A and B are shown apart, each in its own frame.
Chain A
């Protein structure tokens, strides 16, 4: 069985179908981009993966476990906004990634010192070590998102879910965030789902690009049908995954 299995998922709000017949299987370590028009259910799909909502029908399995009923440690998430705790300093935010699961939500004594050292390593990797003692409100948007990703990764989730994480960033910051995320992904090899509006970003970062759209459309009743995955692109090597197959044939073989 694959790592993430979404089986025949339907989601309906007040009898209004949002998603219908969504089936997808994802291998461990893949980077999945999710794109689609506004209101086509891609954020709903992410919330279902997160178990923030439960599907009306169907099931979502991660790592062969039974369907989750609430968000938990196996799924990490970064939202577009409000992803870090404003009342904790940057370092405390990263430590919180490990400590919130404890009975009192914090570390004591030697454990705390060790966690601080680990947090400083994470911050150095995110390029945030020089602002470790400030509050997130003083950081720029890109730094806040880097912190949010660092915090989510500190909890070591099985799957990382990103809901338009770079949507509010300027183009330059966005490019450096892409590089940051690509490096992390190469290093950790985690399964990532990223919802985005930006097709270029989706193909650049993703191994696979899932497109959500409504396969059926009633002009008199636009809300009559829900959306599903209409395209499932292999986006490796810039969307031309088989180009190296071509090159490995007789043409360039020199021996």
Chain B
């Protein structure tokens, strides 16, 4: 039987899905064990048990000075920045994507401009953002917007252009104005694509968030990681990295669920 025709049954598929996670964990445990047996004071690869203890301590014990559980405050601060940044980006991207995709006039006016803008490395703009918007929340949110907006506009306008021309002609023969075509034909077809584009831009959004927090902040997941780096607190860093990964995965899963739940007609490719 050809390899391309061998499909794993459900138990085997589950086992294969879990296998890489187990392998990484085992590899880490072995590496950690080797280093710790050579030097019990080693801080580079703390034992899984130590990481677990740190994790429990971080999520349940308050800060000695303020009594706040910093872990949850960090999470809340970061998620807020991420949500505001991505939310603004998605809203502006949706409007401009529709305008550029539907109106040839706006396309001539803005499409190339956005294409050039999207080539600017957003992190190179970070100093400018800090100078202009200060070190507060605003500059972090703006960095996320600057980093993800050009991609969203380009992707969404392309998706609008890909709406079959027949549908636009058909809508015109039914008497639809440009406005009605935008809200009744293009926008509903764009919504699942928007969710997909947001899923893709969440990776860069996290990157810009953590970069901005690492440089100037007093709260946030990225800030904490870069703060404890000074003490070589690998157990804290690992806890935060795992937590960020879990959060990113949950957000991605939630968006995919939303897309399937509310746009069942766009099943394929989501």
Contact = CB atoms under 8 A, between A and B. Distances in A.
Given A87-B188, A137-B265, A101 B173 contact: no
Given A105-B183, A105-B184, A86 B265 contact: yes
A77 B170 contact: yes
B171 A100 contact: yes
Contacts of A88: 188
B184 A100 contact: yes
B189 A71 contact: no
Given A72-B175, A100-B176, A106-B184, A87 B170 contact: no
A79 B170 CA distance: 9
B185 interface: yes
A101 B166 CA distance: 17
A85 interface: yes
Given A82-B164, A135-B265, A105 B176 contact: yes
A157 interface: yes
A75 interface: yes
Contacts of B184: 96, 100, 105-106
B266 A81 contact: no
B180 A87 contact: no
Interface size range of chain A in the complex = 20 to 34
Contacts of A71: 169, 172-173
A155 B265 contact: no
B170 A104 contact: no
Given A104-B180, A104-B183, A135-B264, A87 B189 contact: yes
A31 to B, nearest CB: 19
A50 interface: yes
B253 interface: no
B3 interface: no
B174 interface: yes
Interface string A58-90: 000000000000111101110101110111100
A19 to B, nearest CB: 19
Contact of A152 (B173, B179, B180, B185): B173
Contacts of B215: none
Interface string B179-221: 1100111001100000000000000000000000000000000
A50 B170 contact: no
A100 B174 contact: yes
B-side binding surface: helix, strand, loop or mixed? helix
A107 to B, nearest CB: 12
A157 B180 contact: no
A55 interface: no
Contact of A101 (B176, B185, B266, B267): B176
Nearest to A96: B174
B173 A155 contact: yes
A97 B180 CA distance: 13
Given A105-B184, A135-B264, A86 B189 contact: yes
Contacts of A73: 173-175
Interface in B242-270: 263-267
B192 to A, nearest CB: 9
A137 B264 CA distance: 10
A50 B175 contact: no
B30 interface: no
A136 B267 CA distance: 13
Contacts of B179: 103
B180 A105 contact: yes
A12 interface: no
Interface in B131-178: 164, 166-167, 169-177
Contacts of A76: 173-174
Contacts of B267: 137
A71 B171 CA distance: 9
Contacts of B183: 104-105
Interface string A105-145: 11000000000000000000000000000011100000000
A2 interface: no
The winner among B167, B174, B188 for most chain A CB atoms within 10 A is B174
The winner among A76, A96, A152 for most chain B CB atoms within 10 A is A96
A176 interface: no
B173 A77 contact: yes
A86 B185 CA distance: 9
A52 interface: yes
10 contacts: A77-B169, A77-B170, A85-B170, A87-B263, A100-B184, A103-B179, A105-B176, A137-B267, A152-B173, A155-B175
Interface of A: 50, 52, 70-73, 75-77, 79, 81-83, 85-88, 96-97, 100-106, 135-137, 151-152, 155, 157
Given A82-B166, A87-B189, 11 more contacts: A52-B169, A77-B170, A81-B166, A82-B170, A86-B266, A97-B174, A100-B175, A105-B180, A105-B184, A152-B174, A157-B173
